[in-house]
Amino acid sequence: MATEYDTGQTPETVDMMLNMGPQHPATHGVFRMVLAVDGERVVDLVPHIGYLHRGSEKLMENETYAQVITLFDRLDYVSNFNNELAFVRAVEKLMDLEPPERAMYIRVILCELNRVASHLLFAGTYALDIGAMTPVMYTFRERERIQNLFESVSGARMMHNYIRIGGIKEELPDDFVHRTRKLIDELRRGVEETDKLLTFNEVFLARTRGVGMIDAATAISCGLTGPGLRASGSTYDVRKDDPYEIYDRLDYDVPIGEYGDSWDRYWLRIQECYQSLRMIDQCLDQLEPGPIMPQMRRIARPPKGEAYAHCENPRGDIGVFVVSDGTNKPYRVKVRPPSFCNLVALRQMVQGSYIADAVVVLGSLDIVLGEVDR
Amino acid sequence: MEQQPPQPNDSAQEKTLGFPPTPEAGGKVPPRPARRPPHEEEAPTEVLNERGQATAAALGRVVGSRASSSGGRDDIPWVLVMPDHLFEVLSLMKEHPETKMDMLHLLFAVDYLDHLQLIYILASLSLNQKAMVKVDLPVAGDDAQATVDSAVALWEAAGWYERETHDLFGVRFEGNPDMSPLLLYEGFEGFPGRKSFPFNEYTEY
């Protein structure tokens, strides 16, 4: 008889706390999250950041404007040109400076190439997170081609320090246009290859479709920008909504997702690669010889004031706020790192999914810890 | 080819360098040349463009007399409000159909030595406009904290920004459920974002 064994207590379940990171191959850096799990389900998630906090913003207050550019290279270390551009544009606003046409075209070409490199890195490592070992070989091969071109332009593979206040550091190498045209063809094939290999792969679809869904209203409230937000159906893209440099002269589309799940976020980045290559093609057509730096003092000394500029980084909307006190060093620099804001949305996305999906969702956000912690 | 032996240094050259100090200079390091004074004039383009003026007009209608001063540059107008009115102004800007600020774009503090300034950059994706709200917070000393109302009830994104600002600048946000350190570790003393925090002299271990 059942009543004989009845203790008068109802069975109680306790959530198990599961620690993940900071040393974990799928967190792309020193990121730690504590999961509260009920069986295989994630009930709650608490992200912990700050392991890579170097005090970049404080450092910037003690460097001259030209030196600060090097620190921006080290924030989001896979899309360096985009970061440099954001800071340089803020200072240019402060100084009321318009860079020459050619400099703007070169900046856009390099930024878009960097976007492709960053998205390729994402596609490869994302597949690796999910368990596909092959795509990373293909995407890194393509990314390497871009890095080689960057090396010929700036002398460095990653920490370029190439974009200057008012223009760019030096003229492009003679064979740049020829090499880039060839590269675009190769990249188009390379991206297509990854696309065919991964996008509609049965296993890949099963792991990513419907995982980590977020609706546009929640995403906006969390501050999510870039491909993460556009996957939810929002059209917000700084290049379209607040055109900077020469983006308003280019013809391109902004791909939009439908469901806001991990697959949409991945697919959007692949589509962005095609659009970026289209943009570079047009820029090369429109690129004309001319000056690359305006006549200005060697040491930038912006007048007193404050300015805010934002750009579309591969990860989202990067913003830079600069306060100048009239000296050759900024009084305060504040960065709006897109990865930092994107991470806020992680909790909303992971709650209710399986433990194994936490890695899939985190990977789809494509965070760079150098930028999150600054 | 045979190498030339190193020539003894010319004493005159040493004198011009000024270091190490010579007996003629009285054993003292000569003072550094004076720095060029900073620019005194305001930035030339601290004016709003057409889009910014439209936003500023809408902002003026929504915020009204709660703003103690206003201004702006390019497409981003700003209003300075009193700390008591902050939450009211922020929620008004979020809800009002003329501003509809659905995203907290950025929240940070600037240390102006005698006071801290909190700056909220708000964005409306539906109306495609941006605006700033500034608050001046007086702080009594290097270790003193200032307190304002939290905006976490309005935007999810405020949570982490507020924790970061609390870490680095010592601003307490009343109403934020989790104020544990975000970028720094538990037990860190001082506010490293402030100008008074020793930059070069500070040693951690």
Residues A203-211: what's their mean pLDDT? 89
pLDDT in tens, A19-31: 887 887 777 778 8
**Measured between beta carbons, which residues in chain A are less than 8 angstroms from residue B119?**
321
- Worst-scoring range by mean pLDDT, A37-41, A280-284, B69-73? B69-73
Residue A62: closest CA among chain B residues belongs to which residue?
B199
Q: What is the average pLDDT value for chain A, to the nearest integer? A: 88
pLDDT in tens, A215-248: 888 999 988 998 989 999 888 989 888 888 889 8
- CA angle B120/B126/B128 to nearest 5° reads 60
> How far, in Å, CA of B30 to CA of B18, rounded?
7
Confidence at residue B17, expressed as pLDDT on a 0 to 100 scale: 53
**Cα–Cα nearest to B157, from A346, A225, A344, A234:** A344
Residues B88-95: what's their mean pLDDT? 89
**Measured between beta carbons, which residues in chain A are less than 8 angstroms from residue B185?**
50
pLDDT in tens, A116-135: 999 999 999 999 888 888 88
Confidence at residue B33, expressed as pLDDT on a 0 to 100 scale: 63
Distance from the Cα of B8 to chain A's closest Cα (Å) equals 36
> How far, in Å, CA of A57 to CA of A55, rounded?
6
Are A139 and A123 in contact by the 8 Å Cβ rule? The answer is yes
Confidence at residue A1, expressed as pLDDT on a 0 to 100 scale: 47
Q: Is B51 on the interface with A (CB under 8 A)?
A: no
Q: Is B180 on the interface with A (CB under 8 A)?
A: no
B99 Ramachandran zone, left/alpha/beta (phi>0; psi -120 to 50) = alpha
Amino acid at A325: D
- CA angle A94/A98/A104 to nearest 5° reads 120
Residues A46-59: what's their mean pLDDT? 88
DSSP state of A351: T
Q: Is B199 on the interface with A (CB under 8 A)?
A: yes
Confidence at residue A152, expressed as pLDDT on a 0 to 100 scale: 92
Residues B167-179: what's their mean pLDDT? 87
Residues B67-83: what's their mean pLDDT? 85
pLDDT in tens, B130-172: 999 999 888 877 777 788 888 888 888 898 999 999 988 888 8
For domain B50-174, give its CATH number from 3.40.640.10, 3.90.1640.10, 3.30.470.20, 3.30.460.80: 3.30.460.80
> Residue B58's pLDDT band (boundaries 50, 70, 90)?
confident
Q: Is A241 on the interface with B (CB under 8 A)?
A: yes
pLDDT in tens, B7-46: 555 544 444 555 555 666 666 666 666 666 555 555 455 6
Q: Helices in chain A by DSSP H: which ranges?
A: 56-60, 65-73, 80-95, 101-130, 135-154, 176-194, 202-208, 216-222, 227-230, 238-241, 262-286, 338-344, 346-350, 355-365, 369-373
pLDDT in tens, A260-298: 889 999 999 999 999 999 999 999 998 888 888 887 777
- Would you kindly state where each structural domain of chain A is located, as residue ranges? 16-373
Residues A35-43: what's their mean pLDDT? 87
Are A350 and A327 in contact by the 8 Å Cβ rule? The answer is no
> How far, in Å, CA of B156 to CA of A220, rounded?
9
CATH class, domain A16-373, is mainly alpha
Confidence at residue A182, expressed as pLDDT on a 0 to 100 scale: 92
Q: Is the pLDDT of residue A108 over 90?
A: yes
Strand partners, A305: A324
Q: Is the pLDDT of residue B194 over 80?
A: yes
Higher pLDDT, A104 or B43: A104
- Would you kindly state where each structural domain of chain B is located, as residue ranges? 50-174
Buried b / exposed e over A185-216, threshold 16 CB at 10 Å, is: eebbebbeebbebbbebeebeebbeebbbbeb
SS3 for A133? coil
ipTM, 2 decimals?
0.85
pLDDT in tens, A301-355: 888 888 999 999 999 899 999 998 888 889 999 999 999 988 888 888 888 888 8
DSSP state of A285: H
Query: Phi then psi for A368, rounded to 5 degrees?
Result: -125, 120
- Residues A50, B185: C-beta atoms closer than 8 Å: yes
Are A280 and A113 in contact by the 8 Å Cβ rule? The answer is yes
The pTM of the full predicted model, rounded to 2 decimals, is 0.84
Residues A96-113: what's their mean pLDDT? 90
Q: Is B80 on the interface with A (CB under 8 A)?
A: no
Element holding B53 (H helix, E strand): helix B50-63
Question: Could you say which of A57, A241, A303 has the minimum Cβ distance to residue B43?
Answer: A303
> How far, in Å, CA of B48 to CA of B56, rounded?
9
Distance from the Cα of A177 to chain B's closest Cα (Å) equals 35
**Measured between beta carbons, which residues in chain B are less than 8 angstroms from residue A33?**
none
Distance from the Cα of A64 to chain B's closest Cα (Å) equals 14
Q: Is A51 on the interface with B (CB under 8 A)?
A: no
Confidence at residue B148, expressed as pLDDT on a 0 to 100 scale: 87
Confidence at residue B3, expressed as pLDDT on a 0 to 100 scale: 60
Q: Is A215 on the interface with B (CB under 8 A)?
A: no
**Measured between beta carbons, which residues in chain A are less than 8 angstroms from residue B105?**
223, 317, 319, 336
